[in-house]
Amino acid sequence: MSGADGVLLLDKPPGYSSTQALARVKRALAARRAGHTGTLDPFATGLLPIALGEATKFSRFLIDSDKAYVATIRLGFTSSTGDIEGVITEVEDSRSPTLADVNGVIAEFRGAITQVPPMHSALRVGGQRLYDLARAGVELPREPRAVVIKALEILEFSGEMLLISVKCSKGTYIRVLAEDMGKRLGCGGYLVALRRTASGPFSIDGAATLDDVQARGADVAAKLLPVEALVSELPRVELSRDAARSLLHGQRPAAMPDALPGESAVYGPGGHFLGVARAEGGRWLAVRMMGAAAVAP
């Protein structure tokens, strides 16, 4: 089991940081290498894809993918952290928004928007995590960042509680979205609950629970998704046996004349996944490759 290479779709429970959940999976599966593909806050739940073995080489391709969430926002209150882990304050003299109000504001947040990263985040400034600075009472100016809200819908609305579904680009802070929507409504808002339902091509459907992984380690390891699942959104290119061998040994075989620009998932004979390469100057340039022992071109 220690040689497992692949992707585990984990349904992270509340109360665990992504790093803590990763450590438990790594221990349960006796994995030599493991990494998660996008942080979830401890109070949040849902899909946390975990790369094992050779799959850790390709984690960034999922980190860069779109994500989907279901989020619960409490209106009429604010939080010092934007979520349930902060100090909660009621907004005095605020008008309770109507469904029409919420629909109007929702429309304003679809598409390309900017967000100011929260102090309670894992971003580094001067080598320090922002959340460490925030805990020390330090607040620094942060530059707005461009993100894209690709879908934003109301699922339920009860006056104080607003349940939404969100599909967004990488780097989107749902806590900031909740706060910004609350500000725009004039009543304040913070995130009560957050569940990630999709990451890139992966869905929460069928994801393993942490209890299941710890109780049935060997059985779970046998059902890992293949490494190439992490790059399934890239164009697929089939290489000849000679080209595959050359690429694996650090050489630059000739690319097909119609090779697409950008990165592609490359495969050898028999459908063996080799890694990720890009066409450059009429030749293939390795970007990230599987270990030679992991493929048989």
Residues noted as catalytic: 41
Q: Which residues share a beta bridge with 261?
A: none
With CA atoms as reference, report the closest residue to 40 among 7, 16, 65, 62.
16
Query: Mapping DSSP to helix (H, G, I), strand (E, B) and coil, where does residue 8 land?
Result: strand
Residue 7: burial class (beta carbons within 10 Å; 0-12, 13-18, 19+) = buried
Residue found under tokens 């050779």: 54
With CA atoms as reference, report the closest residue to 117 among 135, 105, 102, 129.
129
Let me know how many helices (H) and strands (E) the chain has, helices first. Answer: 8, 18
With CA atoms as reference, report the closest residue to 145 among 166, 185, 183, 118.
118
